[in-house]
Amino acid sequence: MTEQRKSLTLKVPVLTRVEGEGALDLRIVDGNIEELRLRIFEPPRFFEKFLEGRHYSEVPDIVARICGICPVAYQMTAVQALEKLFGVEVSPWVHDMRRVFYCGEWIQSHALHIHLLAAPDFFGCNSAIELARIHPDVVRRGLRLQELGNEIMALFGARSVHPVGLRVGGFHHAPALSQVKILRQKLMDAIPEAEALVRWTSSIPLPADSQPFVSVALKHDSTYAIETGFIAASDGFLVDSQEYDAHFAEYQQPYSTALFSAYHQQPYLVGPLARLNLSQNQLPENIRKLIAETGLVFPNGNVFISMAARAVEILFALQEAARLLGNYAVPDSRHVSVRPRAGIAFGATEAPRGLLWHRYEVDEAGLIKNARIVPPTSQNQARIEEDLRLSLLNFGLNQPDDALRLHCEKVIRNYDPCISCATHFLRVNVERSSS
């Protein structure tokens, strides 16, 4: 008998509703996944090289340009790393207002992802515009929440995109009490909307796709970690940010220009689901009760739960920002003096999409000798590949090619990859063959 072999290649020129471009190659042989590769082909962006020779005071504004969606994360991680090296102790006011500032970024980023990028997938929609036709009130609510997050960022950063208010040692300015009172009332008014969002996202039918994986995130003894804490993993691991390199390794895949990351030689998850898997008990009691009422369970191995996890974090960020602004007063000083010193600075915070790690080598004049930045999207890349493989097997490789493509897109969008920070994603090739 003559052996017959057939193959099919599916090319998708644009993967919508993610920020960036790249490719996924999927080869199926005799009903098995023979090859699955997340290919990234972005040219180098050189941000780490841009920092070399720059004064430490320039770093916050430069790293903010890495991402238009989560600039606060890059700024906050940088300033805290440098302050730790320089022995700078910021005031309680600076500490609290930075946390409020970061809450604003979580709110706007999570609201954008839920309503404009992820939710359409679960309602058979190709865009948020189509989703708005069937759930107009939901989309309007999401846009209001996103705008509120932007207002917080603009209040402390002078603008919401690439803000310029943060500096090593504190802030450049302090908002007026009248502005803060108006904003705080908006936050309080939005809390019921965020509670409704948690209920709505938790009611959406999701694929039953639980998988084993390691969750990695910052963890704090007394609060839900955003801008401070130790790096923790769901296997009990706990270290300071300066020990990151001893346990996490970046590596190159020949088919990708972007680095992948591994924790003790295995893929791992960062992001809102990882944070809730590790720290759900640090949430306020009312939020824990709401989680129980909706039937959400953490820890959870179904990454499709990430959309609901983002909704939970929106509610937390609203409440936390309102709490911290409750006794706001304009400080006598917005920042403390800084004297640079030579050494190596390490920092880690929780960007909306997950753990963000910075390392800077600084000379005695405060000039950056070299820099290394590991964003959350690159840390999730290996986990995305593993998730795709397991999820496709669970979905069924005998599904039509269009269904496979859409399922792959749904899985990838679920991670909310901020691809311009580290990677791009664009094209899907599916090749089938049989003998």
Greatest mean pLDDT among 46-60, 135-149, 154-168, 398-412: 135-149
Q: What is the pLDDT of residues 318-355, one digit of tens each?
A: 999 999 999 999 999 999 999 999 999 999 999 999 99
Q: What is the pLDDT of residues 278-293, one digit of tens each?
A: 999 999 999 999 999 9
Is residue 26 in some structural domain? no
CA angle 63, 64, 69 (to 5 degrees): 130
Q: What is the mean pLDDT of residues 400-416?
A: 86
Is residue 23 in some structural domain? no
Is residue 397 in some structural domain? no
Is residue 202 in some structural domain? yes
CATH number at residue 257: 1.10.645.10
Q: What is the mean pLDDT of residues 300-316?
A: 97
Domain, as residue range, for 251: 47-379
Q: Where are the alpha helices (DSSP H) in 87-203?
A: 92-112, 128-134, 136-157, 177-203
Could you give the number of structural domains in the chain? 1
Is residue 17 in some structural domain? no
Q: Is the dihedral of CA 272, 274, 280, 284 positive or negative?
A: negative
Q: Are 253 and 267 in contact (CB under 8 A)?
A: no
CA 126/CA 141 separation, integer angstroms: 19
CA 99/CA 263 separation, integer angstroms: 28
% of the chain residues with pLDDT over 90:
71
Is residue 42 in some structural domain? no
- CA-CA distances (angstroms) from residue 394 to 357, 404, 429? 33, 11, 20
Higher-scoring residue by pLDDT: 338, 413: 338
Give the tokens for residue 27. Answer: 């080869």
Is residue 18 in some structural domain? no
Question: In the beta sheet, which residues pair with residue 294?
Answer: none
Is residue 394 in some structural domain? no
Q: Would you say residue 22 has pLDDT above 70?
A: no
CA 344/CA 337 separation, integer angstroms: 20
* DSSP secondary structure, 386-398, as one string: HHHHHHHHHH-TT
